[in-house]
Amino acid sequence: MLHGHQTWLFNNQPTIVATAVVGGPFEALGPLADDFDLLHGDLWLEQDSFEKAQKKLLEDACAKAIQKGGLQKQDVQFFLAGDLLNQIISSSFAARTLATPFLGLYGACSSSMESLSLAALIVNSRAANYVLCGTVSHNGAVEKQFRYPTEYGSQKPPTAQWTVTAAGVALLAAEGEGPKVTSATIGKIVDMGITDPYNMGGAMAPAAVDTITAHFRDLDIDPREYDLIVTGDLGRVGYEIAADLFKKHNLDIPAEIFKDCGMMIYGPDQQAEVLSGGSGCGCSAAVTYGHLLNRMKKGELRKILVVATGALLSPLSYQQKESIPCIAHAVSIESSQ
């Protein structure tokens, strides 16, 4: 199953038989609104804290994915999830609601593809027939956790990103109809010494490039084999740095196939607020499991590489003047049509 140094090839065709994507009111105004299964009009989701609202997003997405897959929750054998709150509390509470054997993960925004990589490994190894995996982020809960409560209205530099309010969940199965997860490249920590939590795109870009380089080296294939190579979430600032690094490393990835989830989820009229772009581990999960898989279904995309990037800082490590360790995990998904 291991190919090269750090890539898993899934020969038993783990299949994404259903996905579900749930978002908030600001995402409802974006260009991908039609790709959400459910959009909440209220950022509080009728809960009495943003943290509980984050949990509800993930619970809603899990319930919807299970329903779309034609299953009952007791049919799901394992649940793999992560989020950005301390002690990934939203994931644990959603796992309590599901009552499914649970593996909690933390890779910041890379958790979306970390969970898909491990879920695919489990299904590919026949260690389960049905595995649910997903991630969630909530603007109010996450901004408070990592920076300042949004109510403070703190001004941010143009390199800052906007935490997406969304959950994205995939139901993987050993058999069935749907796109196949064909490989996963697990990333190393890359830390270029950046200490500014308002420039996470810049910090994460080298990690994305490291994993993408490893993916093509391990599999010995050309980037043009993919219809789309999509990072999540570098934003505009990180995207430009990654594009420059590709050139520097002689990795020929045409601009038309290199995109970023954080630049796709919001429209030009939202840019004054989102600055460099969207972020949060709900962003890449929502864009992938909603928009990108819908485009696959329509036949517009045949084979994609999703590269979820994570900035593994904590507020405390930042206060202790540590630089930001970054990571990226890449997963290839192919249409079965």
Q: Point out which residues bind a second copy (CB under 8 A).
A: 1-2, 5-6, 8, 49, 51-52, 77-78, 82, 85-89, 92-93, 95-96, 99-108, 114, 117-118, 121-122, 124-129, 186-189, 191, 312-317, 320, 322, 325, 327
Q: Which residues share a beta bridge with 82? A: 135
Which residue carries 């054998």 as its tokens? 77
Three-state secondary-structure class, residue 63: helix
**By C-beta, is 95 or 230 nearer to a second copy?**
95
Minimum distance of a second copy from residue 151's CB (angstroms): 16
For residue 108, give both structure tokens: 């910041």
Minimum distance of a second copy from residue 124's CB (angstroms): 7
**Which residues are CB-neighbours of 169 under 8 A, at least 6 positions away?**
19, 20, 21, 58, 61, 62, 64, 65, 132, 133, 134, 285, 289
**By C-beta, is 208 or 292 nearer to a second copy?**
208
Is 207:309 a contact under the CB 8 Å cutoff?
yes
> 203 φ, ψ to 5°?
-70, -40
Minimum distance of a second copy from residue 125's CB (angstroms): 4
Listing DSSP states for 106-144 in one string gives --GGGHHHHHHHHHHHHHHTTS-SEEEEEEEE-HHHHHH
**By C-beta, is 51 or 334 nearer to a second copy?**
51
Q: ∠ at Cα 37 (32, 39), nearest 5°? A: 70
**By C-beta, is 5 or 247 nearer to a second copy?**
5
**Which residues are CB-neighbours of 298 under 8 A, at least 6 positions away?**
none
Minimum distance of a second copy from residue 47's CB (angstroms): 10
Minimum distance of a second copy from residue 30's CB (angstroms): 27
Q: ∠ at Cα 67 (65, 69), nearest 5°? A: 70
**By C-beta, is 92 or 213 nearer to a second copy?**
92
Minimum distance of a second copy from residue 239's CB (angstroms): 24
Amino acid identity of residue 258, one-letter, is F
**By C-beta, is 35 or 114 nearer to a second copy?**
114
DSSP 8-state class, residue 255? G
Cα–Cα nearest to 174, from 31, 68, 46, 77: 77
**By C-beta, is 61 or 98 nearer to a second copy?**
98
Is 314:163 a contact under the CB 8 Å cutoff?
no
DSSP 8-state class, residue 288? I
Minimum distance of a second copy from residue 191's CB (angstroms): 5
**By C-beta, is 270 or 323 nearer to a second copy?**
323
**By C-beta, is 21 or 173 nearer to a second copy?**
173
Minimum distance of a second copy from residue 249's CB (angstroms): 18
Minimum distance of a second copy from residue 106's CB (angstroms): 4
Is 273:289 a contact under the CB 8 Å cutoff?
no
